[in-house]
Amino acid sequence: MDRLSSFLLRRLAHVERRAVRRLAVRNGLLTMSTAIVDGHVVSRFNPEFDPSHLNGDLKQDRQWMRDHLPGFLIKAPLDGNGRPVLVPALPGWPDHLRRHPANIEAADTAAHPYAVRVVTEAGYKPSVKHMATLLLLAAALKQSGVTLRDLVAILRQPAPVFSVAVLADGFERALSQLIEDTGIVPYGPCTGVAADFAFTDDLWKWVESETKRVFLQVAAGETNRPSRAALRGQLLRALADGTPVLAVSETHTGVPEQIDLTCDIRLTGAEIDRLLITDLLEATYGSDAVMHFDSSIAKLDAGALTLDDLAIAIRPGRPILASFDALAGLAALNRDDKKDGNDGEKAGASRRLITQSPSERRGENSGDGDGSDGRASSTSSLKGRDKRKSKAKPTGAEVIKPEPAGDKPSSTATPVLRVETLTGYGAATEWALGLKTDLADYLGGELVWSQMSTKLLLSGPPGTGKTTFARALCNSLQVPLVVTSVSTWLQGEYLHDVLDRMADTFAEARRQAPCILFIDEIDGIGQRASASRPYADYWNACVNKLLELLDGALKTDGVIVVGATNRPEEIDEAIRRSGRLETHIEIPRPDIPTLAGILAHHLGNDLDAITAPNGQVRGQP
């Protein structure tokens, strides 16, 4: 193992052990005091438990700590605002293990450093995936001719831009996890925000009960990669605020051109090789154990392995021979998967650009020839699919036509539902009536669509009439109502199916224009998270697709978008930004006058018969 790799691995172990000690202090297992020594601030830790329970054998004492005081070695669960979920947030102390004031002075202070070491080792859990990612990064630094001194100097500057391309499957997410989960990056800790995030001017963010430095993370993968225009806008905003920018790719051509042309540091690295596996085994089992298995390492197909494979096969405490067998078996499975044509086609489809419209994808696969006959057959095929599609309604959207405005209800019928007849909607009614006037001017050519307020977010408790409002708006404006929901979109089997449902729903709304597109349960689309979080690429792609459809390259003139939710706080900030669902109206629970109006509407003409004196029976209405 070279010096750079060895240093970075020791640095990783140091910062992770330091995090264990700080967590133990927060949980009350250790106490900390500080002193200044030669101009440096030095922390001193002391145990809050009685160290006489330790016998001096580090392995046994570490296991004793995990058996008797495990609650002090884990983080308390937090809610979305970083507050403890459990009350009390700290674990309870077993009375026989606590250090009592009567015997603190009589205790052997020489045992305190060993007790602190036991706590550190009991809570320290080395991550093989973090170590493998760091080794790949070290190899990229060496291959690109970039020193650690250069890297740290750039990190000191405001708004540094980094481009990293390493040919290892899973490296993009693994590097984000390494940066966010550990404090190995200087001037951190750090937390990433996805491109096209609703930026603020804050360079720091409160995350998981601590302050973290924000950096813009640009996705290079095809699934959730932002468009050029969106990326350019986010770069300008991030660099103006002094936010660091990081683009990570698993191919040498995957980094967006804007990042590649303007980056301060450009790193390129190779795929997983036998040297990396050797260094990883050495860091896990020691150099003496690895020296006896050179022939086994030489037989491994390292190029077929991923970072996840390394984390699955190599684990501290596991026999090294078992790790070799697992690595060989996983490499063979990966080779078989690559030979499977069906799996390859499915994976390729799921990785298509989300900015590509479904019609473009269908067009790529529609024709086999280049001639006019091929184009004609392709067009015919597309028309046939469109006919089948209109009958099957694959998007799950329902189109409701408005009730004619001139129809007069019969004496026994319920009055037609219109915004003008609704009660208790307050600002929503005013918005709808203003839109009715603007729509008439738009249809008459006196007003352009961009000058109208056509995007609304309705929120309120269940049962307050959000769907009823959409149906009434349809009748008042005399335009079709396209009804869908996020749960309907999520019925797609794969990510590209979900994105296709979303795009096709908006396409259906454009065909019906002018119309109303009503999206129920819009909070189900979620919020974007750092790419290092589980399933973040899936949900980020869904949110980014909705943002693109609301105000992206596709024009939505003639489409009034109304979103409904019971939990507006769960909606991504960018969805509620200007130009999207910027108008937010909350519908409260109905009061007594509103309830009277609702009953009057549903009773219709029967209300007169009920309230009339001759409508009483035996003195009861």
Pairing of strands 161-166, 30-37: unpaired
State how far the Cα of 490 lies from the Cα of 525, in Å rounded to an integer: 9
Which of the two residues, 378 and 253, has the higher pLDDT score?
253
Is residue 49 within 8 A of residue 43, CB to CB? The reply is no
Residue 176 pLDDT greater than 70, yes or no: yes
Residue 358 pLDDT greater than 60, yes or no: no
User: What sign has the CA pseudo-torsion 567, 233, 203, 541?
Assistant: positive
Q: Residues 309-348: pLDDT tens digits?
A: 888 888 888 888 888 888 888 888 888 887 765 454 554 4
Is residue 560 within 8 A of residue 436, CB to CB? The reply is no
Is residue 494 within 8 A of residue 349, CB to CB? The reply is yes
pLDDT for res 409? 53
Q: Residues 395-411: pLDDT tens digits?
A: 678 888 988 866 555 55
Residue 96 pLDDT greater than 70, yes or no: no
CATH 3.40.50 fits 128-269, yes or no: yes
Structure-token pair, residue 455 = 């995007």
Percent of the chain with pLDDT over 70: 74
- Range(s) of the chain covered by CATH 3.40.50.300: 395-589
Structure-token pair, residue 158 = 């405001």
State how far the Cα of 240 lies from the Cα of 20, in Å rounded to an integer: 36
Could you give the 3-state DSSP secondary structure of residue 519? strand
Q: Residues 2-26: pLDDT tens digits?
A: 899 999 999 999 999 988 898 888 8
State how far the Cα of 509 lies from the Cα of 398, in Å rounded to an integer: 10
How many residues are given for the chain? 621
Q: Where are the alpha helices (DSSP H) in 263-319?
A: 274-285, 287-291, 294-298, 307-313
Q: Residues 478-508: pLDDT tens digits?
A: 999 999 988 888 887 788 888 888 888 998 8
CATH 3.40.50.261 fits 395-589, yes or no: no
In the chain, DSSP finds a helix count (H) and a strand count (E) of 24, 14
pLDDT for res 297? 84
Of 81, 193, 196, nearest to 577 by C-alpha is 196
pLDDT for res 410? 53
pLDDT for res 77? 64
Q: Residues 287-318: pLDDT tens digits?
A: 887 887 878 888 888 888 888 888 888 888 88
The string of DSSP codes covering 588-616 is PPP-HHHHHHHHHHHHTTHHHHHHSGGG-
390 pLDDT tier (thresholds 50, 70, 90): very low
| Global pTM value | 0.60
Q: Residues 191-233: pLDDT tens digits?
A: 777 655 544 455 666 665 667 777 777 876 655 566 677 777 7
State how far the Cα of 39 lies from the Cα of 244, in Å rounded to an integer: 30
pLDDT for res 79? 53
